[in-house]
Amino acid sequence: MKKQYFIYLCLFLSCCLSAQEYFETLPENPDPNKCFAKCVVPDEYGEEEVTIMTKPEHKRVEIIPAEYENKTQEIVIRPASKRFVYVPAVYETVVDTLWIKDPYHKLEVIPTTFKKDFETLEVKPKTGTWVAGEKDPDCPSIDPADCRIFHFVERPAVVRDIPVQKIDKEVETQAEKITGEYRLITKQVEVSPAHTEEEDIPQRTQSVQRNVLVKDETTRELIEPAEYTTVIKKVLRKKGGMTAWREVPCNIPDRGTVLPIYYALGSAELNREAKQILDRNIYTLMLEDKSSTVEIGSHTDSRGGDSFNQNLSERRAKSVVEYLISKGISEGRLIAIGYGETQLLNDCSNGVDCNEQDHAENRRTEFKVF
């Protein structure tokens, strides 16, 4: 295996350095072909007993049950009421006359009777006329027409008897009573109509045993004392920190032997394939070699700003660490480093037109075991 000059930071998981910080703190003027590690001194903790009040003093309300007295009570299970009884109609049999043809009066007209009589009719009225007589001898007139004596002659009226009929008896009618036709009918006659009679129904009662409230429920207040528990508390005795660089064996494989896992664009989430690679390789190796330590180096492609990509690479390294811890690997055996877009595997840097496959090759996490 070709040896290269590597300097690795031996950190607990909680200390995730960026690539820039990593290289700024390297030892000065190191000897060639030597490897160094800068290890973190863990914090030192002690134990103290602490008494904690788990429940404060408080009031408790106790309910005093109600008091009852057993009594017998008559209750009406059916109130008094009235019932109406139907009484049918009463009939009797009678014989009645049914006129088939009603009796009536037959009328006979007796015509008017007349009697003979005469009525005298003046066919020519009574008249009179002046008749000239002899000349008055004492008349001095020489005119023969003068002095004549006239006398009035009356002629009687001419009458005639005309036979007539006069009413002897006016027309009249005579009524003859004609007996009708009938037959006897036997029928039922109502003597008393149907009706209802009111009947009283007495109430029904039942004796019931019941608990009568004598004294209602009440309450009383009680003071419950506070409750305490003693717990063991870890306290920081001595703060850990970075130590000086120290030389370590250079038994780290070169870049050609690393096993990468890949990510979706802009994501730090481990897909199923990545978890399978971690389980089959890194997890199995660390489970078999309890002394091994793994550097987890995460990268991004060139798309996105430098600051964003640096943060994304650190989140990708952290997601691997969290997954291995969930599988039971100690965080002290894991070193997480984010390189951002500083270590591209191809020419797909800023401004270079590349396809998605080339960019995907740079979105990776590589592992170095020592």
- What is the CATH number for 299? 3.30.1330.60
CA distance 45 to 241: 14
232 vs 245, residue with greater confidence? 232
Question: What is the pTM for the complete model shown?
Answer: 0.35
Whether residues 357 and 264 share a domain: the answer is yes
In a domain, 53, yes or no: no
* Residues spanned by the domain of 141: 104-178
In a domain, 66, yes or no: no
In a domain, 47, yes or no: no
Instruction: Give the bridge partners for 262, in sequence order.
Output: 364
Indicate if the pLDDT at residue 9 is higher than 70.
no
Whether residues 20 and 113 share a domain: the answer is no
**What type of residue is 80?**
A
Indicate if the pLDDT at residue 107 is higher than 50.
yes
In a domain, 220, yes or no: no
What's the mean pLDDT in 333-353? 91
Whether residues 174 and 247 share a domain: the answer is no
Where is the domain boundary, 152, 178, 204? 178
Whether residues 330 and 244 share a domain: the answer is yes
The DSSP element (H or E) to which 18 belongs, if any, is strand 17-18
pLDDT for res 115:
86
Mean pLDDT of all residues in the chain?
Answer: 80
Contacting residues for 274 by C-beta, under 8 A, at least 6 apart: 261, 262, 263
In a domain, 52, yes or no: no
Q: Strand pairing of 17-18 and 334-338?
A: parallel
Whether residues 246 and 316 share a domain: the answer is yes
Q: Record the tokens describing residue 123, joined without a space.
A: 């066919």
Where is the domain boundary, 178, 196, 228? 178
Indicate if the pLDDT at residue 329 is higher than 90.
yes
Q: Strand pairing of 218-224 and 58-64?
A: antiparallel
Indicate if the pLDDT at residue 304 is higher than 70.
yes
Q: How far is CA 79 from CA 72, 83, 198, 202, in A?
A: 19, 13, 16, 7
137 vs 93, residue with greater confidence? 93
Indicate if the pLDDT at residue 246 is higher than 80.
no
In a domain, 195, yes or no: no
Whether residues 249 and 349 share a domain: the answer is yes
CA distance 17 to 23: 10
In a domain, 329, yes or no: yes
What three-state secondary structure class fits 275? helix
In a domain, 269, yes or no: yes
Indicate if the pLDDT at residue 250 is higher than 70.
no
Number of domains forming the structure of the chain:
2
200 vs 42, residue with greater confidence? 200
Whether residues 166 and 250 share a domain: the answer is no
Whether residues 286 and 357 share a domain: the answer is yes
Whether residues 14 and 124 share a domain: the answer is no
Where is the domain boundary, 178, 193, 211? 178
